[in-house]
Amino acid sequence: MRLLIVGTLNGQLGAASQIAMSRGAQVTNAPDVETALSILRTKGADLLMIEVTLDIPTFVPRLRAEHFSIPVVACGINTDPKTAAAAIRGGAKEYIPLPPDAELIAAVLEAVAEDNQTFIFRDPVMKSAAALAEQVAPSEASILITGESGTGKEMMARFVHQKSRRANKAFVAVNCAAIPENLLESELFGHEKGAFTGAVARRIGKFEEADGGTLLLDEISEMDVRLQAKLLRAIQERQIDRVGGGKPVNVDIRIIATSNRNLQEYVKSGNFREDLFFRLNVVNIRVPSLKDRPGDIKVLAEFFADKYATVNHMPKRKLSEDALKVLLAHNWPGNVRELENTLHRAVLLATGDEISTAAILLPDASGNLAMSGMTNTQAPEASADGADGADRGADNASLVGRTVAEVERDLIIDTLKHCLGNRTHAANILGISIRTLRNKLNQYQSEGVNVPQPGDNQRMPI
């Protein structure tokens, strides 16, 4: 991971820099915002840590204006909660207090950067896919990784990079589906100053950022056919042309592409170039869906439960046997991503010694989150002797007699408080769309429920 640290803070950021480097990060330091922008334009970065006293509310919009999609973490010495909350309102994703704590920095950077390097699998089907990846990783061949959305295609790409001869060089990922068509060319190939409105300075693209390393083209099927021709030339010639540039730039990269669609069908329909498909598909690695690798569900669930307990500063709890049965019985249409969101919710909801079935909320037939095995009008059933079933444990006591809709409302409100009212972050944690979240919040407000607003100081900084 490439970390850019902005500011000085009497040497405390230098200490944070040393900790980050000990964790494997490549760290660049900038004394001020202007220097930071210059570094981003010429070298790029995966994560930015900035002194909280700098003008974050002005700096973040400048990043967006130049189309830098990079997470920002604020940090400061003896900062009061209001200042930390203001930094988050200004666009920072998290706040880290200084002097730096090694474990805290490691946990927060991992959570914010979403760059967890742990590749976890136990199922024989997944072992077979990983074995193929490890076999071809030392080569220079382009690789096409396919599979359903949420299966872990990017994780597989990172695994290939780590096992390759380029492992000590940059791994740069670009999501072709998330960047508007008119900006993707500049994102990939860079641009010269004045090449178009808003091009205030020369900026290198992802190809140049990845020079010497690996470039991941995520969801390649979403790339416009016209841009595919330029991509094909870049792969064949190992040269790119910046937008508005006058001469080609040589690059040395290994290409990995991912797709959740059938690219051969896209070729037949004319939406994807056949020659580009053959260039990318030298080796195909298919990542199996989670339902086809049940041996991974338990180990992944336990990993996510521990991860989000640490991130949210909550006690670590084991999964009950019945909760695990519920997870194993679910068909996981959202694959590993859905499992991760489910365990994140469960960590926030669980209150007993274990994560029981009461904390496992899964989509019902209408797409609404519902307690596993229950309808919206059911409360948890009691056993024949009148006591709660053993599978639900002590943490079910506060849920008896309540509807799933009430439990869902409290979970949404509590998650929103945790995110300082940030709708996007809350929706990601809850595993629902931002539109669904807004509709539910509008409903709650109409019912007289106090809904946290963006920037509400409901949570102390980490």
Of 262, 287, 312, which one is at a domain's C-terminal end?
287
Helix (H, G, I), strand (E, B) or coil at 87: helix
Helix and strand element counts for the chain (H, E) = 18, 16
If residue 437 lies in a helix (H) or strand (E), which one and from where to where? helix 434-446
Q: Do 252 and 322 have their domain in common?
A: no
Handedness of CA 228, 233, 234, 235 (dihedral sign): positive
| 27 contacts 49 by C-beta, under 8 angstroms | no
Q: Is 332 within a domain? A: yes
Assign 3-state DSSP to the chain and report helix, strand, coil percentages, each to 5.
45, 15, 40
Q: Is 352 within a domain? A: yes
Q: Do 316 and 265 have their domain in common?
A: no
Crossing angle (nearest 10°) for helices 153-162 and 124-136: 40
Instruction: Judge residue 116's burial from the number of C-beta atoms within 10 Å of its C-beta, 0-12 exposed, 13-18 middle, 19 or more buried.
Output: middle
Rounded to whole angstroms, how far apart are CA atoms 422 and 335? 25
Read off the pLDDT band of 387 (50, 70, 90).
Answer: very low
Provide the CB-side half-sphere exposure for 358 (13 A, CA): 26
Q: Is 119 within a domain? A: no
Q: Is 70 within a domain? A: yes
Mean of the pLDDT values across residues 64-82? 79
pLDDT at 458: 46
Helix (H, G, I), strand (E, B) or coil at 174: strand
Q: Do 32 and 141 have their domain in common?
A: no
Q: Do 30 and 80 have their domain in common?
A: yes
Strand partners, 76: 97
Q: Is 462 within a domain? A: no
Read off the pLDDT band of 168 (50, 70, 90).
Answer: confident
Spatial neighbors of 326 by CB under 8 A, at least 6 apart, are 357, 360, 362, 372, 373
Read off the pLDDT band of 444 (50, 70, 90).
Answer: confident
Q: Do 140 and 243 have their domain in common?
A: yes
| 283 contacts 254 by C-beta, under 8 angstroms | no
| 135 contacts 129 by C-beta, under 8 angstroms | no
Mean of the pLDDT values across residues 87-96? 83
Spatial CA neighbour of 218 closest among 128, 280, 167: 280
Rounded to whole angstroms, how far apart are CA atoms 332 and 338? 7
Q: Do 301 and 351 have their domain in common?
A: yes
Q: Where are the alpha helices (DSSP H) in 259-334?
A: 263-268, 274-280, 297-311, 321-329
Helix (H, G, I), strand (E, B) or coil at 195: coil
| Overall number of domains in the chain | 3
Q: Do 227 and 172 have their domain in common?
A: yes
pLDDT at 393: 43
Q: Is 25 within a domain? A: yes
The CATH number linked to 193 is: 3.40.50.300
Q: Do 179 and 257 have their domain in common?
A: yes
Q: Is the pLDDT of residue 305 over 90?
A: yes
Mean of the pLDDT values across residues 116-132? 87
CA dihedral 242→245→249→253, nearest 10 degrees, is 0
Q: Do 303 and 266 have their domain in common?
A: no
Q: Is 459 within a domain? A: no
Q: Is the pLDDT of residue 322 over 90?
A: yes
pLDDT at 109: 63
Q: Do 88 and 228 have their domain in common?
A: no
Provide the CB-side half-sphere exposure for 171 (13 A, CA): 23
Classify residue 205 by its DSSP letter: -
Spatial CA neighbour of 211 closest among 190, 225, 226: 190
The CATH number linked to 407 is: 1.10.8.60
Q: Do 265 and 356 have their domain in common?
A: no
Q: Is 453 within a domain? A: no
Domain of 239 in residue numbering reads as 124-287
Mark 411-422 as b/e (b = at least 16 C-beta within 10 Å). Answer: bbbebbbbbbbb
The CATH number linked to 99 is: 3.40.50.2300
Q: Is the pLDDT of residue 276 over 50?
A: yes
**pLDDT tens per residue across span 372-386:** 644 333 333 433 344
Of 287, 315, 347, which one is at a domain's C-terminal end?
287
Handedness of CA 204, 207, 212, 218 (dihedral sign): positive
**pLDDT tens per residue across span 183-237:** 888 889 988 887 777 777 888 899 999 999 999 999 999 999 989 999 999 999 9
Of 287, 320, 338, which one is at a domain's C-terminal end?
287
Tokens 């690798």 sit on residue: 293
Q: Do 281 and 298 have their domain in common?
A: no
Spatial CA neighbour of 183 closest among 168, 198, 201: 198
Helix (H, G, I), strand (E, B) or coil at 28: strand
